[in-house]
């Protein structure tokens, strides 16, 4: 069973702290279960959080600060937060109009390894975009969801994925551009790439999308795959 929660527009650090609480509870359960007979072991809980953030750049633990193309003064002037965080991947942007999904799952409950988990997250986005007649794909050697991945001159990213996993418990997740203001991506090398563009559903379809409707489709496809 997965508990879905839409926590709305929320400061990045508050959402990160909330994730950590749910994540650590599950990790502690897994640690304690090792010493208990099967009949006394507790079940871990699975969550899927949807939210949006005020403008913020986040840098993964393997990322390079050189991919942030502005200094602290400009960050303050533009009212953009910046955090170095404990997920994989490089730098990305979160902002209003972007659906951020944070699954806190015990992958052992779903018999998934890490590669399979990432593949399923990508598939949730691909299926959702397909309902809007947007043909989305994977890009060899990179995580996330892309458009025109077979044409280097047109390849553009519509969803970033970066996760943390410990004792098969996941946190962090995906950032899906629906009505995102894409100007912020000019201030970074998104995900460390200097030769790939970023796009959104709004840009591809030529008009703003109903973000609640998109969330409902995401939830449906997440439930189908997980």
109-114 long-range contacts, Cβ below 8 Å, gap at least 24?
A: 109/44, 109/46, 110/226, 114/165
Residues in the chain: 226
Give the per-residue pLDDT at 226: 95
Give the per-residue pLDDT at 89: 86
Give the per-residue pLDDT at 169: 98
Cα–Cα distances in angstroms (integers) from residue 8 to residues 11, 47, 212, in the given order: 10, 15, 11
Q: Answer whether 198's CB lies under 8 Å from 182's CB.
A: yes
Domains and CATH numbers, the chain: 2-225 (3.30.930.10)
Query: Which positions are catalytic?
Result: 191
| pLDDT profile of the chain (226 residues), mean per 10 | 96 97 97 91 96 96 89 92 92 96 97 97 98 96 92 92 96 97 91 85 98 98 96
117-124 long-range contacts, Cβ below 8 Å, gap at least 24?
A: 117/163, 117/165, 117/170, 118/143, 118/161, 118/163, 120/225, 120/226, 121/161, 121/163, 121/173, 121/174, 122/159, 122/161, 123/221, 123/225, 124/174, 124/218, 124/221, 124/222, 124/225
Give the per-residue pLDDT at 55: 97
Give the per-residue pLDDT at 194: 72
Give the per-residue pLDDT at 116: 97
Alpha carbon distance 51, 215 (integer Å): 10
């Amino acid at each position: 069973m997965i508990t879905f929660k839409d926590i709305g527009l929320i400061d990045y650090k508050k959402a990160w702290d909330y994730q950590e609480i749910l994540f650590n509870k599950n990790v502690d359960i897994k640690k304690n279960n090792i010493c208990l007979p099967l009949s006394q072991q507790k079940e871990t809980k699975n969550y899927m959080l949807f939210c949006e953030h005020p403008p913020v750049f986040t840098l993964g633990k393997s990322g390079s600060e050189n991919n942030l193309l502005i200094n602290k003064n400009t960050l303050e002037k533009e009212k953009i937060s910046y955090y170095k965080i404990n997920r994989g991947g490089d730098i990305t942007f979160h902002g209003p109009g972007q659906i951020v999904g944070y699954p806190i799952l015990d992958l052992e409950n779903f018999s998934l390894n890490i590669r399979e988990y990432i593949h399923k997250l990508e598939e949730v986005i691909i299926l959702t975009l397909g309902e809007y007649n947007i043909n989305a794909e994977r890009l060899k050697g990179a995580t996330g969801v892309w458009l025109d991945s077979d044409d280097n001159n047109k390849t553009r990213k519509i969803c970033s994925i970066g996760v943390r996993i410990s004792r098969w418990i996941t946190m962090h997740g995906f950032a899906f551009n629906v009505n995102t203001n894409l100007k912020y991506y000019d201030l970074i090398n998104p995900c460390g790439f200097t030769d790939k563009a970023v796009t959104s559903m709004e840009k591809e379809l030529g008009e703003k999308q109903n973000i609640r409707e998109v969330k409902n489709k995401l939830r449906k496809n997440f439930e189908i795959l997980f």
